[in-house]
Amino acid sequence: MDNVRARATNTKENTKKYLHEKKVQQLRNQVKQVQTLRNNVRTGAKISETVRPERTNTKENTKKYLHEKKVQQLRNQVKQVQTEIKTMEKLAEEYKAKKEDLINENTNKENQLKSLQENIDKIEKQLQEGYLHKQKNLEILVRKQRRARHYSQLKDGKYRPLFRTEASLELETIKQTDTNQNLISLLETLMGDFPSLEYSLKKVLNTLKLNELITH
């Protein structure tokens, strides 16, 4: 949602910037037109004075006055346009600074979000490791108690062994150990291929490793 809002804000800022640049260009064109007209008026006045320097009648004085008035109006317009250009340029700088502030703020928010997610992942991993360790200790205790009970039953003659000879027992032990090792290798491969299932696979892996530990 923050990314969508950021993109909407950027689009709005870009539109404002485009309209501002267009307005500045229009004002600059007006300045050029005014300056051209002013130069033409000055040139016309100089030509008139050169060709007919002795004409000082009322009509010429009136025309001169109108020319000077027009030039003064043009000068005032030039000043006004220049002032508007400066104002627009100042606004453009403010918009630019505001846009940069928004970009920096968005970057900071993204970094904060990334840091929070990393902390969450770290805490979840610690909790999982703690649970696995607790499960391992509990299973070791349960297996030791079960083994002690079986030994007691065997001693009292209440438990009938499945293997009557040491050789058959050893052979079965080797077979079970090989099977256990193959399962451990398979689970370790799966953990590498599917990192998202690491926690579930590790619980099973711990059980298989306990089989090895208790057997030996």
Query: What is the model's pLDDT at position 5?
Result: 55
* Overall average pLDDT of the 5-23 stretch: 66
Residue 3: its pLDDT value, please? 54
Question: What percentage of the chain carries pLDDT values higher than 90?
Answer: 4
User: Above 70 in pLDDT, residue 50?
Assistant: no
Q: Can you give the pLDDT at residue 158?
A: 72
Write out pLDDT tens, residues 64-81: 888 888 888 888 888 888
| pLDDT above 50: residue 47 | no
Tell me: the pLDDT tens digits for 94-129? 888 888 888 898 999 999 999 999 998 889 888 888
Predicted TM-score (pTM) above 0.85: no
- Give the chain as a 3 state SS string: CHHHHHHHHHHHHHHHHHHHHHHHHHHHHHHHHHHHHHHHHHHHHHHHHHHCCCCCCHHHHHHHHHHHHHHHHHHHHHHHHHHHHHHHHHHHHHHHHHHHHHHHHHHHHHHHHHHHHHHHHHHHHHHHHHHHHHHHHHHHHHHHHHHHHHHHHHHCCCCCCCCCCHHHHHHHHHHHHHHHHHHHHHHHHHHHHCHHHHHHHHHHHHHHHHHHHHHC
pLDDT in tens, 140-190: 888 888 878 877 877 777 767 676 777 887 888 888 888 888 888 898 898
Residue 44 clears pLDDT 70, i.e. is over it: no
Grade residue 51 by pLDDT with cuts at 50, 70 and 90: very low
User: What confidence score (pLDDT) does residue 111 get?
Assistant: 92
Domain ranges across the chain: 2-119, 163-216
